Amino acid sequence: MALVMNLLLLLFSVALVRSDQTTTPLKSFKIGENVTYDCIDIYKQPGLDHHLLRNHTIQMKPSRTQLNSQTSNSITHKNKIKCPDGTVPVLRNTKEFVTNDNLFVEKYVHPQSADSPGTHIAGVRSHAGPYRGIQAWVEAVDLKIEKDQASYSQIYLGSGVNKQTNYISTGFMINPGFFGDGRVWSYGFWKGKDGKGCYNTACSGFVQVSQTIPIVQPIDISPVESSLLRPFIHQDKITGNWWLTHLGPDEPYGDIGYWPKELFNLFDNGASMVGVGGVVKASPSGASPPMGNGKFPVGGRRDSAIFANIDVLNSDYKQSKINSFPIEILVDSPKCYGLRVGKVKWYRRTRLGYFFNYGGPGGNSCGV
């Protein structure tokens, strides 16, 4: 549990170190208020400015890991962004964005504690690594939370040795203090060998490859059906880079980009831990926000948010369900959040198999 909480602390405590683009964009897309993407030369993108990537050669596509089964997203990328050949979309980080992030860090960093006070989790994990990847259906839900709170749904993998940590996570977040609004956003996060980490493309490290799907973007939530995405973090079998892929509806996959192997020192032979779950961060007043869809998973699978078809790649890149390995259930505040594991045969015409519901209303009695 201590390793998981330390990893979650990273999510809430990493500051942005880059706030502007140093390359003139060839084209820009404004897809909403305060949301602009610049099409940057792929070889001059900010991700490559990291000092560990000075001699890095861009990998344009992954050495494909063949999956046993395919599923598609209910969240579709509506091609709001299509950068010209040779360029990739990078979210423009305004001064307001950086200010919001710095305030967020200032409020939530608690260096005096090994854990992160006010952070609560509900999920499953496995320490039976090494693992080469993890994928799952993740449900995105539109919640109303306060500006100084945060609510995440994520898949992740990590390794920790002697206070060193390597970590990658992706999924959805609602984080008004970070993005400046209360919408659901996709995101990616990493923590590497030099003790530094970063969200998205806000600072150097992640190499964007897709011309149409950025690593971070606001998500359109359907008011009438579940909004599902199937992210996949996987280590390339040849290069050792860690790719982020969205499985469907793009053909064959939506390969967004990757975290280069040079960023990590504990991932050479895979990650020791994988997991999925919900995470929330309370406001300084102690009020915890809702998790999942804000409901306890006490009934059927439609009662609360869902993770499903949780697959992992073992050290030999063989695909298996996560429950074929020893798993641990994580619920640190049962007064406010819950978890229900089960099986279903069909969901939206797709076989789900192993799944779990998670979530809860939060409140003022969740503890620290």
- Per-residue confidence (pLDDT) for residue 194, from 0 to 100: 76
Which sign does the torsion angle of CA 54, 56, 57, 59 carry?
A: negative
- Per-residue confidence (pLDDT) for residue 95, from 0 to 100: 58
Cis peptide before 252 (omega within 30 of 0): yes
pTM of the model: 0.87
Listed as ranges, residues in the chain with pLDDT below 50 are 14-20, 69-70, 101-114, 249-251, 345-347, 349-350
- Per-residue confidence (pLDDT) for residue 112, from 0 to 100: 27
| Token pair for 150 | 């945060």
**Residues 21, 40: contact at Cβ < 8 Å?**
yes
Residue with token string 């469907």: 248
**Residues 7, 121: contact at Cβ < 8 Å?**
no
- Per-residue confidence (pLDDT) for residue 75, from 0 to 100: 57
* Neighbouring C-beta atoms of residue 84, cutoff 10 Å: 11
Residue with token string 């053909």: 251
- Per-residue confidence (pLDDT) for residue 220, from 0 to 100: 84
* Neighbouring C-beta atoms of residue 286, cutoff 10 Å: 14
DSSP characters over 132-157: EEEEEEEEE------TT-EEEEEEEE
Mapping DSSP to helix (H, G, I), strand (E, B) and coil, where does residue 4 land?
helix
Mapping DSSP to helix (H, G, I), strand (E, B) and coil, where does residue 104 land?
helix
| Residues contacting residue 53 through CB under 8 Å, at least 6 positions apart | 47, 204, 205, 207, 260, 262, 263
Which sign does the torsion angle of CA 116, 122, 123, 126 carry?
A: positive
Under DSSP, the state recorded for 102 is: H
| Residues contacting residue 122 through CB under 8 Å, at least 6 positions apart | 277, 278, 291, 292, 330, 331, 332, 337, 338, 339, 358, 359, 360
Q: Exposed, middle or buried: residue 240 (CB in 10 Å: 0-12, 13-18, 19+)?
A: middle
| Distance, CA of 52 to chain centre | 23
DSSP characters over 207-229: EE--SS--SSEE-PPPSSS-EEE
- Please state, in angstroms and as integers, the Cα–Cα distance from residue 66 to each residue in 113, 234, 252, following that order: 42, 11, 11
- Per-residue confidence (pLDDT) for residue 103, from 0 to 100: 42
Residue of 220, 217, 228 lying closest to 135 (CA atoms)? 228
- Per-residue confidence (pLDDT) for residue 43, from 0 to 100: 95
Angle CA(39)–CA(104)–CA(294) in degrees, nearest 5?
95
- Per-residue confidence (pLDDT) for residue 94, from 0 to 100: 62
| Residues contacting residue 335 through CB under 8 Å, at least 6 positions apart | 363, 365, 366, 367
